[in-house]
Amino acid sequence: MKVTIITAVYNSASTLQNTIDSINSQSYSNIEHIIIDGNSTDGSAEIAIRNIGRRCKVISEADRGYYDALNKGISLVEEGVIGILNADDVYADGDVIKKIVANFAVDRDLDCVYGDLNYVAQKNGERVVVSKWISSDFSQQKIKYGWMPPHPTIFLRKSAYKNIGIFDLSFKISSDYDFILRAFASENFKCKYLPQLMVLMQLGGLSNRSWINIFIKMIEDYKVMKKNQLPPFIALFIKNACKLNQLKRFF
């Protein structure tokens, strides 16, 4: 079974090689890595190009942002399983993809596998766990009231993307939330939660880079909820309250 990892890049020269190395160190061998660079100006494209090979493909051109880059990557995949790993994130260990593939292999009707995530930060040159996003088994009731799994841990069959569609570019920060709502609400969508740490996610991503971005995300989340016919005020409150439980902060 082929697994394609898509990485959208814009000016991530300081972390991109770590992401590439994380994918290359996976024990599962049948992996393709597609890097979509949005005409970076800090050397990210050059780093990506140096890694072109059997596993790694690179496209470097202007785009309409993060989700446009992901859509480009998805369009290049013909079959198999697709995962998304951001340009400053890494997999938690070398067997993450192997474990995910094992679950897809056992159940051919399975559309999606997802798991847990740690938020990390650099402190004195070392990666330190700041908080944890512990997910849970899916239910329609949960998703109606703001629940969502961590997007970087979600792996989907290409066939699921064909049914669900791609990312809505009208949302700049919350398109992944919109996609998750559409996916998990799809008829006959079958997913499995693996209670395992999959991804180490660097703090300072698109949604939490600044207070302005956090505010924009809340507005977009509200619009996403209305679009997907969730009770927006209740769901928005519970969604943020759930994060207080999901993100167990360390001091």
Residue 11 scores a pLDDT above 60: yes
CA 130 to centroid of chain Cα atoms: 19
Hey, which residues does 60 pair with through a beta bridge?
37
Q: What is the mean pLDDT of residues 198-206?
A: 83
Highest mean pLDDT, choosing among 6-15, 121-130, 181-190, 237-246: 6-15
- What pTM was estimated for this model as a whole? 0.89
- Average pLDDT for residues 155-173, to the nearest whole number? 95
Q: pLDDT at position 58, please? A: 97
3-246 is a CATH 3.90.550.10 domain: yes
- Ordered by start, the domain boundaries in the chain are 3-246
Average pLDDT over residues 152-162: 97
The rounded percent of the chain whose pLDDT value lies above 70 is 88
Tell me the DSSP string of 58-121.
Answer: EEE---SSHHHHHHHHHHT--SSEEEE--TT-EESSTTHHHHHHHHHHH-TT--EEEEEEEEEE
180 against 206, higher pLDDT: 180
Lowest mean pLDDT segment, chosen from 45-49, 131-135, 170-174, 246-250: 246-250
d(CA 247, CA 135): 10
The CA-atom distances, in angstroms, between 219 and each of 65, 114, 128, 171, 212 are 19, 26, 31, 10, 11
Q: What confidence tens digit (pLDDT) does each residue in 183-196 have?
A: 998 888 999 999 99
Whole-number pLDDT of residue 52: 96
